[in-house]
Amino acid sequence: MRKRRIWLWPLIIAGLLMAALWWFKQTTNKDADMLWGKARKGDFISEVVTSGELQAKNSVSIMGPREMRNYRINEVKIQDLIAEGTLVKKGDYVGRLDPSQLSNSRKDLENEFTKTESQLEQVKLDTAIEMRAKRDELKNLKFALEEREIELKYSEYEPPAVQRQAEINLEKAKRAYHNALQAYGLKQAQAQAKVREVAAALAIQRDNMEKLQALMEEFTIKAPEDGMLIYGRDWGGSKLKVGATINSWNPLIAQLPDLSVMVSRTYVNEVDISKVKKDMEVVVTIDAFPSKLLKGKVVYVANVGEERPGVSGKSFEVSIQLHETDPALRPGMTTGNRIQVLTIANVVSVPLEAINSREGIYFVAVKTGLGHELREVALGVANDMEVCVNQGLDGTEEVLLVLPSTAGESEIVRLEKTPKAKDEQG
């Protein structure tokens, strides 16, 4: 009987060993299937991430004619426009504005000019006829004066009364001729002034017609410099195109950008704008070329926010100038901007997914030899991917990104019980 019991002990021990091995294997496989991340020690960068649009820092604007408001034209449509991105030379055709309103103004001005021209001819004819009548009157008065002088000369042998009458008649003739001569001079000056007045009005109208003709030529838009054509934008931010309207106060049609210096124009929400300062470093990516990483810096931060379509709250404009350029870059390309608002050197950080909390205690699940343990951590600043761990980790650990369902039963190792915490307290 005793021999049989001794023979059973090896079987019992083997069974226990197999059960322990099975349990260890299940636990190990369970931990192996979990999603792990790594703590790291190094520079921590907090960023504000935005999307923007690539633009040239400097550009030449292609403007419509501002003088059209002188003809009571406040708005005009774009009738034709060459394709955006076209490389043009100075003087090349760019587009055309609708001249219909200007054509109406031209017809009115031409009619007014013709009317004034006819008026000038009529004034000249009336003046010529009237001045001829005045000259004939002067001749007749001069003849009458000469007759009175002859009468006076031959009256010396007449009675004194007759002589006196001849003298009176001569004085009257002289006075009449003198008055008529003065009246002729005044009438001539008056006629000349009237002709000049109408002629001046005609000259102004002729000048207006010449200016109008020059303005009509400006409705054919040409490139002021060499460059790549980029469409302008209206007040709402939409790109101008054929059929769009420009106004006389802001007649921007397109731009010719200087591609040697590029900026990314972006908008930051009112929550993050206080973090963004001028001269902060930025990493810029181009959606069209995901592999390109460009560096830049913030050169402008708006002081006043504005409403943006589809965005709740205020947004603030921010301009980022690139430190380098690339022939492949084009205005209008979409950019991703990572503005580095804070850099902390030599700090431990973990992925945000690794942080958990229970009853106000923040903790992570740290990988151990046989599984994992829950360890309390003291947190610092965070960005959109990581968070600083001020206490609780040394940067070499692996941490669980998703806690298992059984983690709620495990005890959390508090900071005061960790060796690091004790060393710091000591």
pLDDT at 12 over 80: no
Q: 107-136 as b/e, with b when 16 or more CB fall inside 10 Å?
A: eebeeebeebbeebeebeeebeeeeeebee
pLDDT tens per residue, range 275-287: 999 999 999 999 9
Domain ranges of the chain: 48-55+258-344, 60-94+222-247, 102-218
Residue 151 and residue 226 in contact, taking contact as beta carbons nearer than 8 Å = no
Residue 246 and residue 75 in contact, taking contact as beta carbons nearer than 8 Å = yes
pLDDT tens per residue, range 56-88: 888 899 998 888 887 778 889 999 999 988 889
- Tell which residue, 363, 385, 358, has the closest CA to residue 375: 363
Q: Is the pTM of this model over 0.75?
A: no
Residue 245 and residue 77 in contact, taking contact as beta carbons nearer than 8 Å = yes
Instruction: Report whether CATH 3.10.20.30 matches the domain 48-55+258-344.
Output: no
- Tell which residue, 343, 323, 314, has the closest CA to residue 264: 323
Choose between 125 and 409: higher pLDDT. Answer: 125
pLDDT tens per residue, range 375-389: 999 999 888 889 999
Q: In angstroms, rounded to a whole number, what is the distance separating the alpha carbons of residues 158 and 352?
A: 141
pLDDT tens per residue, range 140-150: 888 888 888 88
Helix (H) or strand (E) holding 215: helix 160-218
Residue 415 and residue 391 in contact, taking contact as beta carbons nearer than 8 Å = yes
Confidence of residue 9 (pLDDT cuts 50, 70, 90): low
pLDDT tens per residue, range 283-333: 999 999 988 899 999 999 999 999 888 788 899 999 999 998 888 888 889
pLDDT tens per residue, range 349-369: 999 999 999 888 999 999 988
Q: In angstroms, rounded to a whole number, what is the distance separating the alpha carbons of residues 9 and 19?
A: 15
Distance between the two ends of the chain, CA-based, in angstroms? Answer: 63
Confidence of residue 419 (pLDDT cuts 50, 70, 90): very low
**Residue 7 three-state SS:** helix
